[in-house]
Every structure is written in structure tokens, then in C-alpha cells.
Amino acid sequence: MSINLAYVARETGSNLRRNLSLTLASMLTVAVSLSLFGAAVLIAQGVGNMTARWQGGIEFIVFMNPNATPEQLNGVRTALEANPEVDTVDYVDKEAAYEEFKELFSRSKEMVEAVDAEAMPPSFRVAPRTTDADLIQALGQEYENRAGVREVVFAFETVRTMQNVTTWITRLIIFIGTALLVAAVMLILNTIRMAMFARRREIEVMKLVGATNWFIRVPFMIEGLIQGVIGALVAMGVVQGLNVAFDRGLNGNERLRIFEGFVVRASQLGVTMAALLAIGCLIGAIGSGIAVSRYLDV
């Protein structure tokens, strides 16, 4: 008995409508789990992009004491500019530092009012020629004990901290997403099982008149596949929406421009979308495949 496409479409639609609540629950679970996966992938890609962008301009900052004398400031500047391992040196005076402080804490009026420009430490922002973290640390430590120096802060320490925190967040999201994916497979399996149970007499009649195994199985398998695909499409929309919202947030808020390097490239987003669709198809195929092989005695 050959498979008729119109028959498959009609039976698949009938099965989806018959178990609407379970079908919607399956689709929603797939959508949530894949949205979490997509978000985790975008976070990992964004951190990778930002880290790669900073590799060429990784720096350390030499903070001077607020009361450092002009001679001390000039001494540190001269030493930095004369060092062959230093690429560029940018001096940030008290006024510029205070403007940055006001912008950073613009929503905390009390904090801004409690500090004035004279309390801000001037600093030298240094970009070394090397990108090796150990060499940068050794270079920065040369200036820690110079007169007038308050502290030397290394940018890569912040990068490492951000990477560690992001790694744990990504692992947690993936763990939750994996648990939900397993739940989605079980929901799809149960939905197909209920559909087969509701049509058990029809299936018995089809077997009596000589219907092949695939003729009976295909509508149920396509039903599971559709659930996975629709869930994946919803997840793709959610991930795309999150990415667009993040981009708009960057463009509309100057304070967030520091995260500009976090933006995910279009090619990376496209690969992520394709992966979500493929996983959605796989989830539907696995759930329905297990159901028809385990509960459909043909």
C-alpha cells in the first residue's frame, strides 16, 4: 500500500488537533529549551568576540595618587613612553576621570554629588606591544612601586573574571536546556502514544486490509517532526528577538557601548539558527521514532 501525501497530511493534522493540549505543551517545551540553548550559544559567541577584539588592545592602567605631583606624573609618563614594550600611552586627568565617573553613575545622584574631580585619581592607560598576559603583568609590575603610583590594574584580569562567570552561566543554561530537551522528547513521545491509542481500532483495521508498516507509522512520525520544527521556529524567533533587543540597547545607550564587541556577527547568528532548527527536527524525530517503535505493534 503506497503512501498518499494527502492522506499523510490529513491524518497528521487530525492527530495534532486531537491531542491539542499535549501538542502545545510539547511545542512550548521544545521552544523554551532551544531558546535557552540559543541564548547560551550567543553568550559564548559574544564573549569570544569581545575577547578576540580585546586581544589586540589589551591594556593595563596605572592609577596615580590624586595628590601626585607634576614631577611624579611626568616621571611615570616618560618611563612608559620610553619603554620599548609599550605601544601607546593615554593620559586621563582628574577632570576626564570625573566625567567618566559621572557618566557611569549617572543614575546615582547621591554618589556623584559625594565625589568631586579633585578626589579622582589621574591615570595612564597603556597598550603593550605584546598580547601575552604574563608578559603584560610583568611589564605593569615595573611601575607599581614608582613614586606617586597608587595601583596598577590589568585589563586581562577583568576579561578572565568575565570569562569564568560566563562559563558557569552558560553551563547552567545548557544544563537546564538539556533537561528541558529530555522533557520535550518525552512529551512528544507521550503525545504520539496517546494519538496511537485514540486510533487503535483504525490501526487494527488498516493492518487487516494490508497496510504496510510505514503507511501506518509515517503520519505519527511527521506529527512528532512538526512539533519539533514549530518549537524550533518559535525558539529562533525568541533568539532573534533577544539579539535585536541587545543591538538596539547598545545603539540607544552610550553607557552600554563598552559591550559593543559583544555583538554577535550575522554569520554566527545564522549558524545558531540552523543548529536550533536541526535540533528541533532531531527532537521530534527521536520522540516520534521511539513512540512508533515501542508502542505501535505492526
pTM (predicted TM-score) = 0.62
Q: Tell me what pLDDT residue 261 has.
A: 62
CA distance 140 to 262: 26
Q: Tell me what pLDDT residue 175 has.
A: 86
Q: Tell me what pLDDT residue 236 has.
A: 95
Encode pLDDT of 119-133 as tens digits.
Answer: 889 999 998 887 777
Q: Residue 1: which pLDDT band, with cuts at 50, 70 and 90?
A: very low
**Pick from 167-176, 190-199, 237-246: least confident:** 190-199
Encode pLDDT of 35-46 as tens digits.
Answer: 988 888 888 887
Show me where the domains of the chain are located: 5-54+160-295, 59-130
Q: Write out the CATH class of domain 59-130.
A: alpha beta
Encode pLDDT of 252-272 as tens digits.
Answer: 555 555 555 667 788 888 999
